[in-house]
A and B are shown apart, each in its own frame.
Chain A
């Protein structure tokens, strides 16, 4: 191992934030769906993976990264809409385990569908031409793409926040997550709101897939470990809490990249240990409300 300098630490910190941005997006989608529908989407990793494949596909088709950045979340969100309408919806009111089990089965089907369409090997990716190269941040050169990743996440988080806090639809979503019965009594078709939220959540998973694709291997199994990692983020941040998802996402990313600098063999393990520690000290997560774990 080379000498550890402050600038190396800063670069590694930035790498961690870049990684954490993807985690934050994943946990946002997961938390959004959970907070509203009380459904843990076990196919979230699969939606992420489908997003990565579609991103690569649309990029090859249109030759334009920005098109694929817009088209992919829409396409993945459309799959999410279909999944909610025809698979998850019949299970509402039948116990919280059933949607979880169903989405677990769905993830198998999605992984195999991608294997059938794109083959089992995965596809090769490259950073889009306009985002290649590195930027001098004062303490060293940092890849432009990862900087873009952080910026894009910030934009999505800001947009989602504005949507939920400042718009009429967001108001309905917030009310619906607090008391769906009352919202229904007020004459709002809550089933459509749920459908929309599931669509948005999966679209964000797809977006994180397309954003993460150039930074990792794109293969049908890529969503499998991502699912476990996004669970860690959600548990650390506090389930259903959107600020919790963002903060915990960044924290997990930073912990991962710092451990891989100092003790590379423990990198994968570190984030799970972080979760165990949080569970011991604060079982409801950093931003969760006490008693919400039940």
Chain B
């Protein structure tokens, strides 16, 4: 066997074991970062972008309202702990459930529209959630955000874990991220996963093949909302506060940016995008307060010249190389 075959084989091997490959990178990841808080942020926002990618990258629906799910996940997880005194794991469940429910309602309205309208409508519906939480001050803290989500130690079957230790926190959150990634990978590998990709490629033909397009869209919308809700719940535990901005459509825009920078429709791309975005933010805020200009320019350059994103371009290059080197 020549070397080229090995490349093609190893490439296929990684694609088949994508969850394991991603986890391998994420387990080693904190060692590469300047400080752990950044690594945790990238982990959480990577998951957020993965949830968004399910809808945008795989189904081809560009939502500008995903902050609603991140934010609702955060807020409900936080409220369950602050007002309800719930244990942390129940609070996470509450956050995910609430985000899925909001996803169901917004999805039901939004899938009546397509293409550009879908983007505009999700943006506007997401803003409803923003204003509701903004006004419900007694529950959410309004403009100041929700404060005082205290989770210091986590009791795992008698095993005490220090949640204030950033490394422990990182790996604990990684457990949830891993479960979500496994779930997303299963969804994508299922017949349902094939249907949503078919919708992206040609919606009319998918419907003509006898698939219930509206139902599939709504289901993937809710799944996407649930994953983003989990990211939100984890973020609430990580930050101990929920800023009101996490519901704003600019936050939705961050998911869009991360997804595109990394590579939409790829499994690992959202993490690459989240890492790139947050690392860029981290480095440039040290130099200037106007870092958003830099982010905007980088994003425009990607839209114009590298629409596949960093990871998508790498995959494209690898796949072409593997294909041409095959005998």
B interface majority secondary structure: helix
Contacting residues, chain A, for B121 (C-beta < 8 A): 231, 235, 275, 279
4 cross-chain pairs, A with B, having the tightest CB-CB distances, nearest first: A108-B296, A112-B293, A105-B299, A109-B296
Segment of A49-57, A67-75, A93-101, A160-168 in the binding face: A93-101
A108: chain B residues at CB < 8 Å are 292-293, 295-296, 299
Q: Digitize B242-277: 1 where CB-to-A-CB distance is under 8 Å, 0 elsewhere.
A: 000000011001001100100000000000000000
Main SS of chain A's interface residues?
A: helix
Query: CB of A196 within 8 A of chain B?
Result: no
A116-B290, A276-B128 given; A293·B304 CB < 8 A? no
CB distance from B203 to the nearest CB of A (A): 8
Q: Establish whether residues B117 and A239, one from each chain, have CB atoms under 8 Å apart when the complex forms.
A: yes
Rounded to whole angstroms, the CA-CA distance of A265 and B116 in the bound complex is 31
Render A174-217 as a binary contact track against B, CB cut-off 8 A, 1 for contact. 00000000000000000000000000000000000000000000
How many A-B pairs with Cβ below 8 Å? 111
A112:B290 contact, CB within 8 angstroms: yes
The 8 Å CB contact of A268, one of B113, B115, B131, B257, is: B131
A235 lies within 8 A of B112 (CB): no
Residue interface bits B99-121, CB-to-A below 8 A is 1, else 0? 00000000001001111110111
Q: Chain A contacts of B304 at CB under 8 A?
A: 87, 90-91, 102
**A294 at interface, CB cutoff 8 A:** yes
**B interface residues with partner A (beta carbon < 8 Å):** 62, 109, 112-117, 119-121, 123-125, 127-128, 131-132, 134-135, 249-250, 253, 256-257, 260, 289-290, 292-293, 295-297, 299-300, 303-304, 307
Q: 14 A-B pairs, CB-CB below 8 angstroms? A: A91-B304, A94-B307, A102-B304, A105-B297, A108-B293, A109-B293, A109-B296, A112-B292, A112-B293, A113-B293, A116-B293, A228-B127, A269-B135, A275-B121
A234 at the interface (CB under 8 A from B): yes
Residues of A near B297 (CB, < 8 A) are 105, 109
Q: What residues of chain A lie closer than 8 Å to B303, measured between beta carbons?
A: 91, 98, 101-102, 105
Provide the residues of chain B in CB contact with A228, threshold 8 Å.
123-124, 127, 249
Given contacts A224-B250, A276-B125, 7 further A-B contacts (CB under 8 A): A38-B116, A101-B299, A108-B292, A112-B292, A116-B290, A239-B116, A280-B109
Determine how close the nearest CB of chain A comes to the CB of B175; give it in whole angstroms: 33
- Give the docked Cα–Cα distance between A266 and B289 (Å): 34
B249–A272 CB distance below 8 A? no
Cα A269 to Cα B124 with chains together (Å): 10
Contact of B256 among A94, A104, A231, A232 (CB under 8 A): A104
A286: interface (CB < 8 Å): no
Question: Does A111 have its Cβ within 8 Å of any Cβ on chain B?
Answer: yes
